[in-house]
Amino acid sequence: MDAAKSLTPGAVSHILANPSPGDAAEVPELVVQVVDLKSIGGTGSRFSFMASDGKDKIKAMLPTQFAAEVRSGNLQNLGLIRVLDYTCNAVPNNDNRALIITKCEIVSQALDAEVNSEVKKEEEPAIVLKPKDEGVVVSKPANAPPVVLKPKQDLKSASQIVNEQRGNAAPAARLSMTRRVHPLISLNPYQGNWIIKVRVTSKGNLRTYKNARGEGCVFNVELTDEDGTQIQATMFNEAAKKFYPVFELGKVYYVSKGSLRIANKQFKTVHNDYEMTLNENAVVEEAEGETFIPQVQYNFVNIDQLGPYVNGRELVDVVGVVQSVSPTLSVRRKSDNEMIPKRDIVVADESGKTVSVSLWNDLATTTGQELLDMVDSSPIIAIKSLRVSDFQGVSLSTVGKSTVVVNPDLPEAQKLKSWYESEGKGTSMAPIGADIGAARAGGLRSMYSDRVFLSHITSDPNMGQEKPVFFSLYAIISHIKPDQNMWYRACKTCNKKVTEAIGGGYWCEGCNKNDAECSLRYIMVIKVSDPTGEAWVSVFNEHAEKIIGCSADELDQIRKEEGDDSYILKLKEATWVPHLFRVSVAQHEYMNERRQRITVRTEAPVDYAAESKYLLEEIAKLTA
């Protein structure tokens, strides 16, 4: 067990005596053993252990950045690590302390056992001081050479030096000198005083709200430190009014006197286990001249990979080539009846797919107008924090915190521009939400991936709670209700719902205009069955037309001209026919009750040759 000799004697005592080293360079050689390594929080992203120096132990925690090392087996229980930087926090209502390791390196993988060194305390002779000598000799054991302590010299104290250094410094500079700047990854709810240096990489709008406790306002920012770690900070009411004009996108600040809590997974927008709250007593000061902290961090999703994010809470980042830009429209907001500007753009990427992005408010009028003026040059845009909806199959929409950068200086943007100029410009692009058809190469294959029975979905009422999940089904349409609302009146331009206008015609809020005519678009539910059960699924226009065999306008015409019997007969003709479905499963709220919603995303008739081949492959797997 030679590696055990690498342990630093007294490492735990040193950590307790120096709970917050001013800089990583001040941390001496500290090698400890990892004992009782275990996951905390149930997410598998955070781990705790007992840090042992062979004599003493202290409870230690590893932030999320070390999870990959644990899962890969590099960092093991009973292994040795060298602590490069740390902070030691007091645990509330407890005399103990917790060690937060912010930087470390692996010295050795798992040893055979826990190291337990027997430390013998030897009685040392008393220290004898001889006054009035040029030097003071400290008596030591017989074989040890004498140690001479030189007389006190007229040196400046540390406090005097610091006071001189910060005498003419700006407030933010004085703040950095007087207190240690903590990395975001080291913060936790049990920590006392801390100060962070962060860049504002996203700033939301100042919003008003109304609930049972009254009215108020709120806004949030995303903060990023020099290590690239992010955290969301939220301010309410007086704090929101105080700090909204202070925080500016892209600037660097020193922040202190905030509080942390476990992040709500449903609403968090950054990868951090905690979220920050700043009240009116928090301290926020601009750090002028700081440029080393990273800019906006992107996590791009390809357009053809947007499906799993549909109607989920998770926001996505997209980089694409602008294909078209619409004029600005005015849309009436339902919550307060206010008219707000909107503009739709279409972007494409190397997947050969396009998607519509709705820009709202200032992004529609400023950045949107800029894109309209330069659309002929096919600019590249990077958009952070987009919501994914199922409108027109798949579409994107900006939210209050979204940011748009035109022709960004990013490797992904350069790569996309090179692709578009060399081959993408001449490539036929298809909307991601469109039904590409079963006959297309590879189209049928998606109908056989993730194939399940209906019982797999209906037996789990909580399925799709975090985000939509996707499956393929082989099912028969067993019933279509004839008395349901089969369709809605839609604008012929944008397909959005229209209302009857006073004096005639139909008013479209999306296009902000009145048309003499409108079209009907299916929005219906059907019951499907398979050998394990049955379920109601939602079907929209494109897929419903294939199932019914005619458009909603044509079915309405049959009902008006030929009567209800012919209308019901047309629906019955569509039943007891097998189909292949690609469906999404998600949760929605109805009458304050959470319910499971199954929605058809793609539909295809059964290709019996392909189906037989699939079944033979499944049988072969069972008998292998």
Q: Where are the domains of the chain?
A: 11-108, 184-286, 303-432, 451-486+523-615
Average pLDDT over residues 539-563: 93
**Lowest mean pLDDT segment, chosen from 104-108, 147-151, 326-330, 616-620:** 147-151
Alpha-carbon gap, residue 222 to 384, rounded angstroms = 12
pLDDT at position 478 is 95
pLDDT at position 529 is 96
pLDDT greater at residue 574 or residue 400: 574
pLDDT at position 459 is 92
pLDDT at position 304 is 86
pLDDT band of 389, cuts 50, 70, 90: confident
Give the DSSP per-residue string, 5-44.
GGS-TTHHHHHHH-SS-SSGGG----EEEEEEEEEETTSS
pLDDT at position 44 is 66
**Lowest mean pLDDT segment, chosen from 113-122, 364-373, 563-572:** 113-122
Alpha-carbon gap, residue 64 to 270, rounded angstroms = 13
Mean pLDDT of the chain: 81
**Lowest mean pLDDT segment, chosen from 20-29, 136-145, 441-450, 576-585:** 136-145
pLDDT band of 420, cuts 50, 70, 90: very high
Q: Are 615 and 621 in contact (CB under 8 A)?
A: no
User: Highest mean pLDDT range out of 5-9, 180-184, 381-385?
Assistant: 381-385
pLDDT band of 43, cuts 50, 70, 90: low
pLDDT at position 458 is 92
Q: Residue 176 above 50 pLDDT?
A: no
- Nearest Cα residue to 576 out of 614, 534, 523: 534
Alpha-carbon gap, residue 187 to 473, rounded angstroms = 47
Q: Are 301 and 352 in contact (CB under 8 A)?
A: no
Domain 303-432, CATH 3.40.50.150 — does that match? no
Beta bridge partners of 200: 223
Q: Are 62 and 70 in contact (CB under 8 A)?
A: yes
Average pLDDT over residues 209-227: 85
Q: Residue 177 above 60 pLDDT?
A: no
pLDDT band of 284, cuts 50, 70, 90: very high
pLDDT at position 492 is 85
> In the structure encoding, which two tokens stand for residue 123, read together?
């009685």
Beta bridge partners of 214: 211
Whole-Å CA distances, 469 to 171, 271, 309, 412, 454: 51, 21, 9, 28, 14
User: Kind of pairing, strands 136-138 and 380-389?
Assistant: unpaired
User: Highest mean pLDDT range out of 39-53, 283-297, 339-353?
Assistant: 339-353
pLDDT at position 158 is 38
- Nearest Cα residue to 218 out of 233, 203, 240, 247: 240
pLDDT at position 371 is 93
Average pLDDT over residues 95-108: 83
- Please report which helix (H) or strand (E) contains residue 205, including its range: none
Q: Are 533 and 455 in contact (CB under 8 A)?
A: yes
> In the structure encoding, which two tokens stand for residue 106, read together?
């692996």
Q: How far is CA 89 from the centre of its chain?
A: 28
Residue that is written with structure tokens 């004029």 in the block: 327
Average pLDDT over residues 597-615: 89
Alpha-carbon gap, residue 171 to 177, rounded angstroms = 10
Residue 349 CB coordination number (10 Å): 25
Average pLDDT over residues 160-186: 56
Domains 11-108 and 303-432 share a fold: yes
pLDDT at position 130 is 43
Alpha-carbon gap, residue 62 to 47, rounded angstroms = 5
Alpha-carbon gap, residue 576 to 513, rounded angstroms = 43
Give the DSSP per-residue string, 424-484.
GGGSPPEETTS---TTSTTTGGGGTTTB--HHHHHT-TTTTSSS-EEEEEEEEEEEE-TTS
Q: Residue 189 above 70 pLDDT?
A: yes
Q: Residue 290 above 70 pLDDT?
A: no
What's the CATH fold of domain 184-286?
OB fold (Dihydrolipoamide Acetyltransferase, E2P) (2.40.50)
User: 3-state SS of the chain: helix, strand, coil percent to 5?
Assistant: 25, 35, 40
pTM of this prediction?
Answer: 0.45
Average pLDDT over residues 383-408: 86
Q: Are 582 and 446 in contact (CB under 8 A)?
A: yes
Alpha-carbon gap, residue 317 to 387, rounded angstroms = 9
Average pLDDT over residues 304-325: 86
Residue 180 CB coordination number (10 Å): 13
**Lowest mean pLDDT segment, chosen from 96-110, 118-132, 477-491:** 118-132
Residue 488 CB coordination number (10 Å): 17
pLDDT greater at residue 448 or residue 206: 206
> In the structure encoding, which two tokens stand for residue 157, read together?
């104290």
Beta bridge partners of 479: 527
CATH of domain 11-108: 2.40.50.140
CATH of domain 451-486+523-615: 2.40.50.140
Average pLDDT over residues 130-159: 44
pLDDT band of 27, cuts 50, 70, 90: confident
pLDDT tens sequence across 54-84: 888 898 888 777 787 888 888 888 889 999 8
pLDDT tens sequence across 49-59: 999 988 888 98
Q: Residue 537 above 70 pLDDT?
A: yes
> For residue 546, is it left (φ>0), alpha (ψ between -120 and 50) or beta?
alpha
Whole-Å CA distances, 87 to 35, 162, 192, 484: 19, 22, 11, 63
Q: Are 204 and 400 in contact (CB under 8 A)?
A: yes
pLDDT tens sequence across 247-256: 998 889 999 9
Q: Are 473 and 599 in contact (CB under 8 A)?
A: no
Give the DSSP per-residue string, 344-358.
EEEEE-TTSEEEEEE
